[in-house]
Structure 1
Amino acid sequence: MSKLLYKVISIGASVLGGILAGAIFKRVWRVTADEDEAPSATDARSSWSEVLIAAAIHGAIFAVVKAALDRGSATAARELTGSWPGDGDESDAAAEAERAK
């Protein structure tokens, strides 16, 4: 039951995360490129480098937001239910954290 609850909350967080990542990307692009809109891949007026840089920045922002939300959701689920909802178990996570030090 706790994994089902985690999945429902995780899906909602993912939707909000996508919206948040898009808003962050638009703001970053506006500041760095001094343009209101990022180029689309099919925009003939944009260079390859501009399109690929925009895609890389967008992908990086999306990945960081997704990872932060996934990790936050899993941590919150552990706080609420007492068990880790993701891959591995708590003893694996504790051992991994110890090795990272």
Structure 2
Amino acid sequence: MNDARQPAKSSTSAKILYRPFGLVSSMVGGLVAGAVFRQVYKRVVPGHRTQAPKPLESEYSMREVLLGSLLQGAVFSVVKALIDRGGARVFQRMTGEWPGS
């Protein structure tokens, strides 16, 4: 079975031109992901906590630390994927070339 989709090849110049664009979008993605995570965490965790416990904070159980880390990783991963993919699409519309491999 052949997949009808062929990966878009990009030129070396497209990859080089995308680097600063990708760097800025990654920084923005980190800020957005942090804000999204704080809002999700406030709504998911009972009480008045606004931040996930850090691994070295002894007043929290291992379960609370691991759940906070799991949630944070999931939110950051999804937001980063959305922003990276969206940035690549914008770059492609602007230049006509896909910035990836």
TM-score (norm 2): 0.80
Where does residue 72 of structure 1 map in the other structure?
86
Segments of 5+ residues of structure 1 without an aligned counterpart are 88-101
Q: 1:41 aligns with which of 55, 67, 72?
A: 55
Q: What is the deviation of 1:2? A: 3.1
The structure 2 residue matched to 1:28, chosen from 24, 40, 45, is: 40
> What is the CA RMSD across the aligned residues, in angstroms?
1.1
| Runs of 5+ unmatched residues, structure 2 | 1-12
Identity of paired residues, percent? 38
The 4+ residue runs of structure 1 with deviation greater than 3 A are none
SS of corresponding position for 1:31? helix
Q: How far apart in 1 are the matches of 2:96 and 2:42?
A: 43
Instruction: Note the C-alpha offset of 1:3.
Output: 2.4
Partner residue, 1:56: 70
CA distance in 2, matches of 1:37, 1:83: 40
2:15 maps to 1:3: yes
